[in-house]
């Protein structure tokens, strides 16, 4: 069994080498089951699919060096966009190339901790879900978020729940994990910040229920490179409405 970690990257020269190290070292041996008579240890192979979305700050050169390093060996696949197209476009490129049985989206900015992969993967391998989201708002340790970011996230997640009859707590989380069965059914089109609502809407409209697990979150400041702004909320809201009523 193989896990494909898809990492969309844009101008992350300060963090890209470190996140790749953490992803390479993330534990992928899962204890699944509920007792001595129903207990299995699953060791997953890993595939790291990195999509550089037109970086201009030297990130691309770091990635090429990483790809050629012994540490990458045969686990890293590097894909390059000549121009910046947005996170959604980068994830689509990664999904087309990924060969794993399970797909996991990983941001490149160190806000999310790859050591939590086992918690995200366990519900899938125990047969409880085919899609798992890591929720920053379910009690895990977090660095304080901006108030208006959190308020906006609550609002957009509430809209998602109303439109798609769900009970999510964190629709906008980076950590989205799903089986190849779901990945092959997705018809993603959003190129930018519409990715998160679009993939969520499609998963829910296909009849899959999303399983949430609490995760830690180390949010970064704008001076550290945080890119999302309040304006992106309008893109998310429009995408939710469009996917619900226009297909």
Reported as a single tens digit per residue, the pLDDT across 64-96 is 999 998 877 779 999 999 999 999 999 999 999
Give the per-residue pLDDT at 32: 83
Residue 103: closest CA among 92, 87, 89: 92
Residue 174 is part of a domain; what is its CATH number? 3.90.550.10
Give the per-residue pLDDT at 230: 59
Report the domain count for the chain: 1
59-68 and 16-25 helices, crossing angle to 10°: 30
Q: How far apart are CA 93 and CA 51, in angstroms?
A: 7
- Is 190 exposed, middle or buried (CB count within 10 Å of its CB: 0-12, 13-18, 19+)? buried
pTM of the model: 0.91
Give the per-residue pLDDT at 143: 60
Give the per-residue pLDDT at 219: 77
Give every residue of the chain whose pLDDT is below 50, as ranges: 222
- What is the distance of C-alpha 112 from the center of its chain? 9
Give the per-residue pLDDT at 231: 74
Give the per-residue pLDDT at 221: 61
- CB proximity list for 25: less than 8 A, separation 6 or greater: 114
- What is the distance of C-alpha 22 from the center of its chain? 15
Q: Which domain holds residue 177?
A: 2-245
Q: How far apart are the first and last CA of the chain?
A: 33
Residues 224-240 pLDDT 10s: 555 556 577 889 999 99
């Amino acid at each position: 069994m193989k896990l494909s970690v898809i990492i969309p990257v844009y101008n992350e020269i300060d963090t890209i080498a470190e996140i790749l190290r953490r992803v390479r070292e993330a534990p992928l041996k899962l204890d699944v089951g509920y007792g001595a008579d129903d207990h299995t240890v699953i060791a997953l192979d890993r595939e790291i699919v990195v999509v550089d979305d037109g970086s201009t700050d030297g990130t691309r050169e770091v990635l090429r060096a990483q790809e050629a390093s012994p540490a990458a060996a045969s686990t890293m696949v590097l894909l390059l966009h000549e121009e910046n197209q947005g996170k959604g476009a980068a994830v689509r490129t990664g999904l087309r190339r990924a060969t794993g049985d399970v797909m996991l989206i990983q941001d490149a900015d160190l806000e999310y901790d790859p050591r939590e992969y086992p918690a995200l993967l366990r519900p899938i391998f125990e047969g409880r879900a085919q899609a798992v989201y890591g929720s920053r708002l379910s009690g895990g340790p977090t660095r304080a978020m901006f108030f208006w970011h959190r308020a906006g996230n609550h609002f957009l997640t509430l809209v998602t729940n109303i439109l798609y009859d769900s009970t999510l707590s964190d629709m906008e989380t980076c950590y989205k994990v799903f089986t190849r069965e779901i990945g092959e059914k997705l018809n993603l089109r959003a190129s930018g910040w519409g990715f998160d609502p679009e993939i969520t809407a499609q998963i829910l409209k296909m009849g899959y229920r999303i399983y949430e697990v609490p995760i830690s979150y180390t949010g970064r400041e704008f001076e550290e490179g945080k890119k999302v702004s309040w304006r992106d909320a309008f893109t998310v809201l429009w995408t939710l409405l469009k996917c619900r009523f226009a297909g």
